[in-house]
Amino acid sequence: MYREYDESLHVISEMQQAGTSIFKLDDMEFGRRFAVEKELEKSNQARFVNAVFDETGNFIIYGALLGIKVVNVKTNKVARVIGKSESNRFVNVGLYQGAPKKKGVYTLAMAASDNAALKESQELDPTLFCTAFNKNRFYMMTRREPFDNAQKGERDVFNEKPSREEQTVAATQERKQVLGTSAILRTTSGDIHMRLFPDAAPKAVENFVTHAKNGYYDNLIFHRIIKGFMIQTGCPFGDGTGGESIWGDDFEDEFSREFKHDRPYTVSMANAGPNTNGSQFFITVAPATWLDNKHSVFGRVTAGMDVVHGIENAKVDKTNKPYDDIKIINIEIR
């Protein structure tokens, strides 16, 4: 038997456009993953991409743009995509399908009991061990449900020592100049008051504040509005294709465990993929947790929510651009 599976960028792009992919991503998420895929292809980490068979030899497992694919080579169909909602691009995978060898005393009383934890400990638990692009850790995926106490904290365990780069960033944050903690976005529809998060996203706040003080955002329109999702602005061309940072180049993402897209009125940077922040930003009108660890949150609306919803309800064309311009008059930093 001979099988060939094409995961090249042009094939993936054609399937996304034609709607023939296993599942269709929204354009923003697909653009982010596409950019990561291009970056992976150019890096030396591409040599670690692999594929493994399960113990039956019927399934081949490998990391791809959509997630970790499990392909049945007998039926020639994708049986499952694991981790499709994760933001990581998984690279190297290893599969463990053995049974636990170390067993304690197993009494008749234990066998007759209805102890779910005990039964689970005796069952087979296939586990995928994965590495991810640009991550200094590995990930394990199983069929087990999370423990009850997982709700008390994050599922990720941060136990590795910070890298030299991370230590440098931390030191830079400590030395940073206080730029401002709040802003008033004055628009043709009314004022929107925002609280800024310079500790969580120092570069995004510095970029926003400096642009605001220099009048960069004055007279720019809200060029993209999606009802029930968000309102977006900050493009000097008014079509979402332009804008640059105060440094002239794109700047890196800044993700926080404290501030996420878990509520409406979150202010976040728009981008075209990892580390491509410029001048555009958006305000959500509903929780959008799928944007976590993909877009940098740097503020929240504290007043003027009615103005946000007024802009959200503007009539738009098929490209989500309002028929009537809604402009930023100016932005006051406090």
Q: Which of 16, 45, 207, 271 is the catalytic position? A: 271
- Tell me the β-bridge partners of 303: 193
Hey, how many other C-beta atoms are within 10 angstroms of the C-beta on 126? Answer: 13
Cα–Cα distance measured from residue 235 to residue 242, given in angstroms and rounded to the nearest whole number: 5
Q: Which of 34, 295, 298, 300 is the catalytic position? A: 295
For residue 165, the surrounding DSSP H or E stretch is helix 164-175
Q: Which of 16, 207, 232, 280 is the catalytic position? A: 232
Does residue 232 carry a catalytic annotation? Answer: yes
Q: Per the structure block, which two tokens stand in for 289?
A: 């947790």
Compute, in degrees rounded to 10, the torsion defined by CA atoms 307, 308, 309, 313: 100
Residues 6+ apart with CB under 8 A from 194: 182, 183, 184, 185, 267, 299, 300, 301, 302
Given a contact cutoff of 8 angstroms between Cβ atoms, the answer to whether 281 and 209 are in contact is no
Q: Is 92 helix (H, G, I), strand (E, B) or coil?
A: strand
Instruction: Report DSSP letters for 103-121, one per residue.
Output: -----HHHHHS--HHHHHH
Q: Which of 133, 229, 251, 298 is the catalytic position? A: 229
Q: Per the structure block, which two tokens stand in for 86?
A: 């994760």
Does residue 291 carry a catalytic annotation? Answer: yes
CB burial string 50-77: b at 16+ within 10 A, e below: eeeeeeeeebbbbbbbbbbbbbeeeeee
Which phi and psi angles does 164 have, rounded to 5°?
-60, -40
Q: Which of 224, 251, 261, 298 is the catalytic position? A: 224
Does residue 48 carry a catalytic annotation? Answer: no
Report the residue count for the chain.
Answer: 334
Q: Which of 65, 66, 128, 291 is the catalytic position? A: 291
Cα–Cα distance measured from residue 27 to residue 184, given in angstroms and rounded to the nearest whole number: 30
Q: Which of 34, 133, 222, 282 is the catalytic position? A: 282
Cα–Cα distance measured from residue 282 to residue 268, given in angstroms and rounded to the nearest whole number: 6
Does residue 122 carry a catalytic annotation? Answer: no
Does residue 177 carry a catalytic annotation? Answer: no
Instruction: Give catalytic residues, as residue numbers.
Output: 224, 229, 232, 271, 282, 291, 295
